[in-house]
């Protein structure tokens, strides 16, 4: 009995997926790794059929196992949250006859399909490389746009001055022209601000600390996401404890984290609400540390997902929408800055993500 319990502990702690089924493919035992894959505990999965977790592979899997008795098979396991993982699994069918009664069990042991994982990783690297190229292209376009925008702005200013000097001649038409030139001037200035913001964001440079205002950090980040907050409009409520007091940290890295947190919050709201979306951004002074929190009234995070959101490549977003890289990279950035990232959530009501980092 002691050695049986010891063997079960060894199997449970193995980093491979290990499980035992009867001849009808009903689970008898699963180890810790298999619990993580299926998102079910041992107790919950007992008596359930393996065939319920392999989708359309069920019939083929039965045929292979019953015809071979032992061997290797590739299976796609579907978790409780509908995530799919591919495994290469070794299996062996064992018969036992005790006191005239026959029993048959199937032992399964597998590891993730390395080839498939590599394909996914390579595809993601290609996508990231394209994003880097887009960033470089955007930086070049920004530089090209700055000169014509400057010329247009100067021409608008000159036209406004000319009209102002000849108001007596032009009358009401002069007033209208002056307003037109003023609007052109304002819009070119706005374009200049947008291009400067874009250039600052795509520019790649080594981490560098400097002095800046927390409020400016947040406001500049919100400007980058202004279009995402519209149609329908998401109301942004700001609760700043920090005002103009300068802090010392890496502006660019913190902005990258904030963009991710805000974008995720916007997606959470868009996914559950057609209107009445709300974001609350809060800052708090913790002595020699600063806390920034982003709260949304989206759908919240289900319990079975909450412990995976910082895992690399894990995402609940649709194919082509999420990469599973945003939050893991945010965590890495906060570690670099000597800070931390965390969250609280209420399924059906919303979530709050926060970062805490040194103030020097």
Look at residues 308, 235, 232, 297 and name the one whose alpha carbon lies nearest to residue 265: 297
Region 227-231 average pLDDT? 78
Measuring CA to CA, how many Å separate 241 from each of 211, 233, 238, 266, 292? 18, 25, 10, 23, 10
Per DSSP, what are the bridge partners of residue 247? 212
User: What's the DSSP call for residue 290?
Assistant: E
320 pLDDT tier (thresholds 50, 70, 90): very low
Torsions phi, psi for 351 (to 5 deg):
-140, 160
Region 126-138 average pLDDT? 60
**Cα separation, 338 vs 334, whole angstroms:** 6
26 pLDDT tier (thresholds 50, 70, 90): very high
Considering the domain architecture, whether residues 7 and 90 belong to the same structural domain is answered as yes
Which of 186, 204, 222 terminates a domain? The answer is 204
pLDDT tens-place string over residues 53-100: 998 888 889 989 888 888 888 888 988 888 888 888 888 888 765 555
Range of the domain at 125: 113-204
**Cα separation, 11 vs 29, whole angstroms:** 10
pLDDT of res. 85: 84
Considering the domain architecture, whether residues 17 and 129 belong to the same structural domain is answered as no
Instruction: List all residues 6 or more positions away from 225 whose beta carbon is below 8 Å from its beta carbon.
Output: 259, 262, 263, 266
Considering the domain architecture, whether residues 220 and 257 belong to the same structural domain is answered as yes
Q: Omega of the bond prior to 232 within 30 degrees of 0, cis?
A: yes
Q: Which two tokens stand for residue 132?
A: 């880097």
Torsions phi, psi for 142 (to 5 deg):
-60, -45
CATH number for the domain harbouring residue 245: 3.30.565.10
Domain count, the chain: 3
Considering the domain architecture, whether residues 163 and 268 belong to the same structural domain is answered as no
Residue 65's H or E segment, with its range, is helix 58-68
- Cα pseudo-dihedral 322, 327, 332, 333, rounded to 10: 100
Considering the domain architecture, whether residues 155 and 271 belong to the same structural domain is answered as no
Strands 234-239 and 101-112: unpaired
Considering the domain architecture, whether residues 121 and 182 belong to the same structural domain is answered as yes
pLDDT tens-place string over residues 248-258: 888 888 988 89
Residue the block writes with tokens 């009209």:
163
Which of 112, 147, 167 terminates a domain? The answer is 112
Torsions phi, psi for 81 (to 5 deg):
-90, 15
Count of beta carbons in the 10 Å neighbourhood of residue 78: 18
Q: Which two tokens stand for residue 207?
A: 């981490």
Considering the domain architecture, whether residues 121 and 75 belong to the same structural domain is answered as no
Mean pLDDT of the chain: 78
* pLDDT of 340 strictly over 50: yes
Considering the domain architecture, whether residues 228 and 265 belong to the same structural domain is answered as yes
Considering the domain architecture, whether residues 212 and 360 belong to the same structural domain is answered as yes
Per DSSP, what are the bridge partners of residue 283? 292
CATH number for the domain harbouring residue 89: 3.30.450.20
154 pLDDT tier (thresholds 50, 70, 90): confident
Torsion over CA: 128, 130, 131, 137 (sign) = positive
Considering the domain architecture, whether residues 216 and 172 belong to the same structural domain is answered as no
pLDDT of res. 283: 92
Residue the block writes with tokens 């963009």:
259
- Looking from the CA of 317 toward its CB, the CA atoms found within 13 Å total 18
CATH number for the domain harbouring residue 164: 1.10.287
Instruction: List all residues 6 or more positions away from 23 whose beta carbon is below 8 Å from its beta carbon.
Output: 93, 104, 105, 106
Which of 163, 187, 204 terminates a domain? The answer is 204
Count of beta carbons in the 10 Å neighbourhood of residue 27: 23
pLDDT of res. 25: 92
pLDDT tens-place string over residues 341-350: 999 988 888 8
Considering the domain architecture, whether residues 196 and 232 belong to the same structural domain is answered as no
Count of beta carbons in the 10 Å neighbourhood of residue 274: 8
Strands (E), 130-219: 210-213
Considering the domain architecture, whether residues 137 and 108 belong to the same structural domain is answered as no
């Amino acid at each position: 009995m002691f050695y049986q319990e010891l063997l079960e502990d060894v199997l449970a702690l193995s980093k491979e997926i290990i499980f035992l089924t009867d001849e009808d493919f009903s689970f008898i035992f699963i180890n810790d790794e298999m619990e993580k894959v299926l998102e079910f505990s041992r107790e919950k999965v007992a008596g359930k059929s393996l065939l319920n977790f392999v989708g359309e592979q069920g019939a083929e899997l039965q045929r292979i196992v019953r015809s071979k008795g032992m061997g290797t098979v590739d299976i796609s396991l579907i978790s409780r949250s509908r995530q799919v993982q591919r495994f290469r699994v070794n299996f062996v069918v064992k018969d036992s006859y005790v006191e005239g009664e026959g029993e048959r069990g199937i032992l399964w042991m597998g590891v993730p399909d390395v080839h498939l994982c590599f394909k996914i990783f390579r595809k993601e690297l290609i996508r990231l490389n394209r994003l880097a190229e887009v960033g470089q292209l955007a930086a070049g376009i920004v530089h090209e746009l700055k000169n014509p925008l400057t010329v247009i702005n100067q021409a608008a200013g000159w036209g406004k001055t000319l009209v102002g000097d000849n108001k007596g001649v032009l009358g009401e038409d002069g007033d209208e022209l002056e307003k037109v030139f003023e609007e052109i001037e304002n819009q070119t200035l706005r374009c200049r601000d947008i291009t400067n913001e874009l250039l600052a964001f795509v520019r790649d440079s080594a981490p560098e600390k400097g002095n800046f205002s927390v409020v400016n950090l947040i406001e500049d980040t919100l400007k980058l996401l202004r279009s995402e907050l519209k149609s329908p409009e998401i109301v942004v409520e700001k609760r700043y404890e920090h005002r103009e007091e300068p802090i010392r940290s890496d502006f660019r890295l913190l902005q990258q984290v904030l963009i991710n947190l805000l974008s995720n919050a916007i997606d959470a709201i868009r996914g559950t609400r057609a209107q009445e979306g709300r974001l609350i951004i809060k800052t708090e002074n913790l002595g020699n540390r600063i806390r920034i929190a982003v709260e949304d009234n989206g759908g919240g995070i289900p319990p079975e997902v909450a412990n995976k959101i910082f895992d690399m490549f894990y995402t609940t977003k649709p194919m082509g929408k999420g990469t599973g890289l945003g939050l893991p990279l945010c965590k890495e950035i906060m570690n670099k800055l000597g800070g931390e990232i965390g969250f609280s959530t209420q399924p059906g009501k919303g979530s709050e993500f926060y970062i805490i980092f040194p103030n020097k």
